[in-house]
Amino acid sequence: MTYLKSHWQLLALTALIFALWQTPVVVPLKILVVFLHELSHALAAWLTGGSVEQISLSLQQGGFAITRGGNLFAILTAGYLGSLVLGTGLLLAALRSEADRAVTALLGAVMLLVTLLYVRDLFAAAFCALTGVALLAMARYLGHAANDMALRVIGLSSLIYVPYDIFDDTIARSTQRSDAYMLAEAFGGTTMIWGAIWLGLSLVVIIWCFRKVLGATTNIAFRTAQ
């Protein structure tokens, strides 16, 4: 009972995201997680000496990052696991720091910068630009609680979406050309083997995250006028 009282907001938010998961309401969040996926490919390319030529997103919750050079193993692996790590970071920032507005602003600025430098198609440009502007406006004009809640929603959506996406792309539909399919082509093994490894690692990250964040309480203390 004490646990429910201390974390009821986070539990209710998770339940709400699950309840709305198959509705159009959550589609923008899913596309945002796809953006984190493609950004993770790009980060892996940059960190291993490569470059990025284009990043794209689609309304069907797909996307791609065209990279040149860098470590192919790291780049292919970074998509799912990198987006999960970024989502975990956003959730930790919300639950275990006071930097919510700064983190929200940073995410918005990154989206605008990526749009300017690497996005070439209309839908992706519109989505990234509008989302980036919205995040910057939220950081500028809304308070700590609103920014905290936004980061919680984005972080939880990543934690929910990534394992599902790994299973769907690499195990349930193992013949489609996914990151795991290309990894198997380049380094051996099978799509399902790499998918199972990534799924296992994603669950480890999620368990670690919740063990880390579930302290005394995760509820937002909304201030009232005196």
Identify whether the C-beta of residue 37 lies closer than 8 Å to the C-beta of residue 79. Answer: yes
Beta-carbon neighbour count of residue 166 at 10 Å? 28
Which tens digits make up the pLDDT trace of 143-154? 888 999 999 999
C-alpha 190/C-alpha 181 separation (Å) is: 7
Q: How confident is the model at residue 114, as a pLDDT?
A: 96
**Two tokens, residue 130:** 């509008």
Which tens digits make up the pLDDT trace of 191-201? 999 999 999 99
Mean of pLDDT over the chain: 89
CA 201-96-77 angle, 5° bins: 25
Per DSSP (E only), the strands in 80-127 are: none
Q: Is the pTM of this model over 0.85?
A: yes
Q: How confident is the model at residue 226, as a pLDDT?
A: 40
CA nearest neighbour of 37 among 157, 210, 138: 157
Query: What's the pLDDT band for 224 if we cut at 50, 70, 90?
Result: very low
Q: How confident is the model at residue 223, as a pLDDT?
A: 56
CA nearest neighbour of 97 among 138, 40, 155: 155
C-alpha 171/C-alpha 190 separation (Å) is: 10
Pairing of strands 63-68, 51-57: antiparallel
Instruction: Please say if the pLDDT value at position 96 is more than 60.
Output: yes
Which tens digits make up the pLDDT trace of 32-47? 999 999 999 999 999 9
Instruction: Please say if the pLDDT value at position 183 is more than 60.
Output: yes
For the chain, domain boundaries: 26-56+71-213
Which tens digits make up the pLDDT trace of 167-181? 988 988 888 888 999
Supply φ then ψ for residue 118, to 5 degrees. -130, -10
Instruction: Please say if the pLDDT value at position 70 is more than 80.
Output: yes
CA 157-160-163 angle, 5° bins: 135
Which residues is 64 bridged to in the sheet?
Answer: 56
DSSP 170: I
| SS3 label, residue 50 | coil
C-alpha 82/C-alpha 69 separation (Å) is: 18
